[in-house]
Each structure stands twice: as structure tokens, then as C-alpha cells.
Amino acid sequence: MTTLSSSLLDVLRRVDTPTVCNAIEVAQGKRGFSDFTRGTMQCSAPDEPPIVGFARTARISALAPPQDPPEVVRARRMDYYRYMAEGPRPSLAVIEDIDHPNCIGAYWGEINTTVHKGFGLAGALTNGVMRDLGDLPKGFPVVAGSVGVSHGFVHVTEIDIPVTVHGMIVRPGALIHADRHGAVAIPEGEIARLEEAIAKLLATERIVLDAARAPGFDFARFEEAWRAFEKART
């Protein structure tokens, strides 16, 4: 598995997910990157730093009770928690609710978020439901498909498999960046170039931003700044 330098991790924790999405295109030298979530998601802690980590994946369901024998359900549950407690760090839980778009079971409430944070995970990404918003632990953001009240018959169905969250396919071990905007799966081949790409992106954006914030800004100064911006950007 690709390692994540402390320098890049620090940068990723300081920038938002749209910046990472744009920077991946800078690293690739072209437009068209598409490994990101679609639609509007909910974030439990929009003012906290983004979630950055390697994906620990699973699927859940809650509309109906599990059909497996109780001992199988219990064993799978413990296998799930063992899987989440192990593996590389930083990491986050990426959970596909197979009931989508009719999700009813809030897998992410006070107890489960506290347990996963205790395991050392950085947060959770899901197309499913979260609840207990006033009681979730700090430092463990959840980016979810919806907010709800019930846990239904929520249970784990599969562990350590590719999952789909709001149109984004996530494979186990993929490097994920998520915040109140949604999430991106960072291509493994661009990780080594990403820190430099973020710095280049931010410098390019400042060409227009600095001009627009300066006294005396007008169309002529905008036009000059935009020409320089277009020349520099991907």
C-alpha cells in the first residue's frame, strides 16, 4: 500500500476537498478527473478539518432483519470491528448502505462513532444515515447521505470489498479526502505529486484572488489577471 508522508498529510488536512479535486487535475495535467461523489451530502462537523485516510470498506443494510443465523450475524459483526481496528493509519470507514436511496438505518450514531474513533479512525463516509448529531465525538466527522432518527435493522453484510458511495467507487485502501462538499478518491499514481500540485494550484488561484481583493480593482486589472491565470492554470 502507498504510504502517506507527514508533509502531505498535513497539507491535506488544511485544504478542502474541492481544492484536492482540482489539484489532482493539475497533477494529471488535464481536465476530466471524475472519482468524486455526486449530489449533496451531509457533514456532521462542517467546521472541523477534512477526513483524510485509507479506506476501510463495508456494506450494510437496515430495511429488513438479516436472514443469516444469529451466530453468523454476530461473527460478521465482530469481524467487521476487528477489520476496522486494524490496518494502516490514517484511515476512515467507507460504508455503502445497499438500501440507498431508501436508507432508514442510522449506522453512525453516538456509540458507533465513538467506537470507531477509539480504534483510531479519522472519520466515516457513507451514502447512508447518521444521527445523534449533538452527541457525536469531536475529531470524527461523518459525511453521510442523510440524517435520520432510526437504526432500523442495521447490520453488516460484506467487509473489505469495493463499495459505491454517491456515485464514487471506493476500493479498500484507496486514499480518500472528504469534507462538507463530499469526497474524492485520490489516484494512487498522483499521491507523490499531489503536494506540489496543491501548491501550484493555490499559487495560480492567487493571481486572480489577489488582484480582485486589491484596491482599485476594475475590469482592466481583471482582464490582465485573467490572462495570467489562464496561462498558468490546467
Give 53's strand partners.
Answer: 176
Res 78: pLDDT: 98
Domains, the chain, ordered by start: 34-186 (3.50.30.40), 193-232 (no CATH)
Res 102: pLDDT: 97
- Report helix, strand or coil for 86: coil
- Its sign, for the CA torsion 47, 48, 51, 52, is positive
In the numeric block, the cell 461523489 is attached to: 37
Q: What is the mean pLDDT of residues 30-36?
A: 96
The residue type of 123 is G
Res 203: pLDDT: 97
Q: Can you point out the beta strands (E) in 86-194?
A: 91-97, 106-108, 124-126, 129-130, 142-144, 146-147, 155-159, 163-165, 168-170, 175-179, 182-186
| CB-count exposure of residue 72 (10 Å: 0-12, 13-18, 19+) | exposed
Res 1: pLDDT: 56
Whether 151 contacts 106, CB under 8 Å = yes
Strands 155-159 and 51-61: antiparallel
The residue type of 141 is P
| pLDDT tens by residue, 62-114 | 999 999 999 999 999 999 999 999 999 999 999 999 999 999 999 999 999 99
Sorting pLDDT into bands at 50, 70 and 90, what band is 234? Answer: low
Q: What is the mean pLDDT of residues 162-174?
A: 98
Count of beta carbons in the 10 Å neighbourhood of residue 163: 25
Question: What is the C-alpha to C-alpha distance for residues 14 and 19, in angstroms, rounded to an integer?
Answer: 10
Count of beta carbons in the 10 Å neighbourhood of residue 170: 23
